[in-house]
């Protein structure tokens, strides 16, 4: 009797844990970078370096240091240290916004930790991307 009770109890616990895990696991959302300009200019996606729209694809429109839509182009309005739209301007008033495909906002990408909408995660990400920006724009 005691053994059956233990087997039943363990089975219930395992089923409960499986149900909790099934409910807790949600697919990751694809994140994008959008300019906080009048057009809401698309500035790329957070994907691997081979994806055509990735900010990490150094040959693509959104990761190249030469593209006007790249945050890594020091001469573009989205990558300049002096532009109000740049993540890398410490005084930017309209840095890029991190969103998903449903328009949910995850934070503002800026090296200014006090900028409106900046989260600790988005600030840390901006600081890491600034290291890449520095390497590309020596």
Q: What is the pLDDT, as a whole number, of residue 15?
A: 54
Query: Residue 11: inside a domain, yes or no?
Result: no
Domain that holds residue 41: 27-138
Q: Which residues of the chain have pLDDT under 70?
A: 1-27
pLDDT score recorded for residue 138: 78
- pLDDT at residue 23 in the model: 56
pLDDT of residue 29: 83
| Total structural domains within the chain | 1
Give start and end residues of each alpha helix (H) in the chain: 2-24, 120-136
Please check whether residue 10 lies inside any domain of the structure. Answer: no
d(CA 105, CA 118): 11
17 lies in some domain: no
Helix (H, G, I), strand (E, B) or coil at 107: strand
Residue 21 lies in a domain: no
The pLDDT of residue 133 is: 92
**CA gap 115, 46 in Å, rounded:** 21
* Residue 128 counted as domain residue: yes
3-state secondary structure of 7: helix
């Amino acid at each position: 009797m005691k053994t059956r009770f233990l087997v039943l109890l363990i089975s219930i616990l395992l089923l409960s844990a499986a149900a909790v895990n099934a409910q807790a696991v949600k697919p990751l959302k694809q994140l994008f970078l959008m300019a906080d300009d009048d057009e809401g200019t698309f500035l790329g996606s957070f994907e691997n370096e081979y994806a055509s729209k990735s900010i990490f694809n150094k040959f693509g429109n959104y990761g190249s240091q030469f593209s006007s839509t790249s945050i890594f182009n020091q001469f573009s309005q989205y990558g300049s240290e002096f532009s109000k739209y740049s993540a890398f301007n410490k005084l930017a008033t309209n840095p890029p916004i991190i969103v998903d495909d449903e328009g949910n906002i995850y934070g503002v990408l800026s090296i200014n930790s006090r900028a409106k909408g900046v989260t600790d995660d988005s600030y840390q990400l901006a600081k890491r991307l600034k290291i890449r920006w520095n390497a590309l724009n020596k």
